[in-house]
Amino acid sequence: MKQFLFPCTILLLATLHFTTITAQSPAQAPAPPGPTNTTKILEKAGQYNNLIRLLVSTQVGDQIDTQLNNSNQGMTLFAPTDNAFSSLKSGTLNSLTDQDKVELLQFHVLPTFVSTAQFQTVSNPLRTQAGNANSGQFLLNVTTTGNQVNLTTGVVNATVANTIYTDGKLAIYQVDKVLLPRSLFGPPAPAPAPKPEKGSPPTSSDTPSDSSKDTSGAMGHSSSKIVSFAVAVMITASCL
């Protein structure tokens, strides 16, 4: 009986150990060996599945890694959480063309390394990878109070919540909103309000197609914990 119990105990301990490891919150990960892999860093951090999918499909993730390797300016990425994506209005992403998605992602990337301290002194608007900030179409402004860093695009206000990763070359910050640029989501250029006239065509409000939201996240930590626990229970049961 003892001989039989022994491997069971090992198996059980191993399972519980795995549970503990996966449950640990990934604090600032050390620089992985070799070239920086932005999507890998985000995978480790968890809760960025929507962002990762977009970084891969638009190839902006590769662009960041290549640019990091080829410049000494560093890079900064604002990383919206899966929650930020799921709080977007339904159909927001589906209404975008592939080129729009590239712009949206590039709008989250600065072609320089910006430390948390440097946010206090950067000049507005920030220069993003998406294009000319001064045109107002890709405006991204920073406001700070104490250690709190907020961003505004003119369409949304976001808060920089956490440093996910920093190594002096690449900084990745968690943001609580998807940064929607004016170019794609802003109101059309303000025109002088026309006086209503007889026979003028009705203004058609542009309602985006209400297609399904892009929210399918991968299994989170809490559910993997539950699975591990269930496995542990099953092993225990089979050992009895």
Ligand X SMILES: *[C@@H]1O[C@H](CO)[C@@H](O)[C@H](O)[C@H]1NC(C)=O
- φ, ψ of residue 86 to 5 degrees: the values are -75, -15
Q: How many residues bind ligand X (CB under 6 A)?
A: 21
Rounded to a whole number of angstroms, the minimum distance from the CB of residue 150 to ligand X is: 4
Q: How many residues does the chain have?
A: 240
CA distance 5 to 17: 18
Residue 115 or 211: the one with the smaller Cβ distance to ligand X is: 115
Single out the segment in contact with ligand X by CB under 6 A; choices: 81-89, 103-111, 152-160, 186-194: 152-160
Rounded to a whole number of angstroms, the minimum distance from the CB of residue 79 to ligand X is: 15
Q: Which of residues 175-234 bind ligand X (CB under 6 A)?
A: none
CA distance 65 to 67: 6
Sole binder of ligand X in the list 46, 74, 80, 154 (CB under 6 A): 154
Q: Are 179 and 156 in contact (CB under 8 A)?
A: yes
Sole binder of ligand X in the list 19, 150, 162, 236 (CB under 6 A): 150
Q: Does 159 bind ligand X (CB under 6 A)?
A: yes
Sole binder of ligand X in the list 57, 59, 69, 147 (CB under 6 A): 69
In what helix (H) or strand (E) does residue 159 lie, and over which residues does it extend? strand 157-166
Rounded to a whole number of angstroms, the minimum distance from the CB of residue 159 to ligand X is: 5
Q: Does 121 bind ligand X (CB under 6 A)?
A: no
Sole binder of ligand X in the list 11, 40, 161, 239 (CB under 6 A): 40
Q: Are 159 and 150 in contact (CB under 8 A)?
A: yes
- 109-110 vs 157-166, strand pairing mode: unpaired
CA dist 43 to 39, 205, 217, 220, Å?
A: 6, 39, 12, 11
Sole binder of ligand X in the list 57, 83, 115, 124 (CB under 6 A): 124
Rounded to a whole number of angstroms, the minimum distance from the CB of residue 153 to ligand X is: 7
Residue 28 or 141: the one with the smaller Cβ distance to ligand X is: 141
CA dist 57 to 52, 53, 194, Å?
A: 9, 6, 42
Q: Does 49 bind ligand X (CB under 6 A)?
A: no
CA dist 78 to 75, 150, 160, 161, 233, Å?
A: 10, 12, 8, 10, 40
Q: Which of residues 125-144 bind ligand X (CB under 6 A)?
A: 125, 139, 141, 143-144
Residues found near ligand X in the complex (CB under 6 A): 35, 37, 39-40, 43, 66, 69, 124-125, 139, 141, 143-145, 148, 150, 152, 154, 156-157, 159
